[in-house]
């Protein structure tokens, strides 16, 4: 419902979404309104994100969703995604948390991940290198976001290949190294 309100240019759909957030009777309705606010960069977004976090910070799965809503926002910047990885509730040692940010960003935010300048690719490969030291299996799986890199337009393909080759220069676990080699040699 909120997407319809936000897509139609009438009275003030962002204000209506903020009202839906404030008047929601349960968390699911709040999350739905929050998605609409985040995806439209509404003026009340930061305030509602902070409120939602404070209400549910003790509920790990809800906070994972809170992170995912922000990581999949195509209106965000790479700095916004980096800020999520610096949030006090984010940790590379928490598999669900890192999937809610890094995997969601790489797999469900194609606009930002596939930026012309390659920042999305470089950011993810940098995090893979960090993660590989803590959890090689998940680092290796996160490389799956690059599974179609050879099908990208030439400029994006070059950016993705450069990021992957730079990752190859790191000291990597066997899991990540094998997955990376398979990607680069396919």
In tens, the pLDDT along 8-45 reads: 445 576 777 788 888 889 888 999 989 989 988 888 89
Would you list the domain boundaries of the chain?
Answer: 1-56, 77-186
Residue 7 has pLDDT above 90, yes or no: no
- Residue 41 region by backbone torsions, left for phi larger than 0, else alpha for psi between -120 and 50, else beta: left
Name 138's Cβ contacts closer than 8 Å, sequence gap at least 6: 95, 98, 99, 131
Taking only the tens place, the pLDDT of each residue in 73-105 is 999 999 999 999 999 999 999 999 999 999 999
Q: How many CB atoms lie within 10 A of CB 67?
A: 24
Taking only the tens place, the pLDDT of each residue in 118-173 is 999 999 999 999 999 999 999 999 999 999 999 999 999 999 999 999 999 999 99
- The pLDDT of residue 5 is 46
- Exposed, middle or buried, 44 (CB in 10 Å: 0-12/13-18/19+)? middle
Contact 74, 120 (CB under 8 A): no
What is the rounded average pLDDT for all residues in the chain?
92
Taking only the tens place, the pLDDT of each residue in 170-183 is 999 999 999 999 99
Angle at the Cα of 133 from the Cα atoms of 92 and 171, rounded to 5 degrees: 140
When pLDDT is averaged across residues 59-64 and rounded to a whole number, the result is: 97
Give the residue from 140, 52, 62, 49 showing the smallest Cα distance to 96.
62
Tokens of 8: 């139609």
- The pLDDT of residue 18 is 81
- The pLDDT of residue 169 is 96
The 3-state DSSP class for residue 129 equals helix
Sign of the alpha-carbon dihedral angle for 7, 31, 80, 61: negative
Residue 2 has pLDDT above 80, yes or no: no
């Amino acid at each position: 419902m909120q997407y319809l309100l936000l897509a139609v240019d009438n009275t003030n759909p962002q204000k209506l979404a903020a009202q839906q957030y404030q008047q929601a009777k349960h968390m699911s309705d709040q999350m739905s309104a929050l998605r609409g606010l985040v995806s439209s960069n509404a003026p009340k977004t930061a305030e509602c994100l902070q409120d939602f976090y404070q209400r549910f910070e003790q509920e790990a799965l809800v906070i994972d969703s809170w992170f995912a809503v922000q990581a999949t926002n195509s209106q965000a910047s790479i700095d916004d995604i980096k800020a999520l990885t610096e949030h006090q509730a984010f940790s590379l040692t928490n598999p669900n948390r890192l999937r809610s940010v890094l995997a969601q960003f790489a797999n469900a935010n194609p606009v930002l991940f596939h930026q012309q300048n390659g920042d999305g690719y470089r950011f993810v490969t940098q995090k893979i290198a960090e993660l590989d030291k803590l959890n090689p299996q998940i680092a290796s799986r996160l490389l799956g976001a690059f599974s179609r890199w050879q099908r990208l337009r030439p400029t994006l393909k070059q950016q993705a290949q450069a990021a992957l080759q730079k990752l190859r220069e790191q000291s990597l676990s066997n899991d990540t190294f094998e997955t990376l080699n398979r990607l680069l040699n396919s």
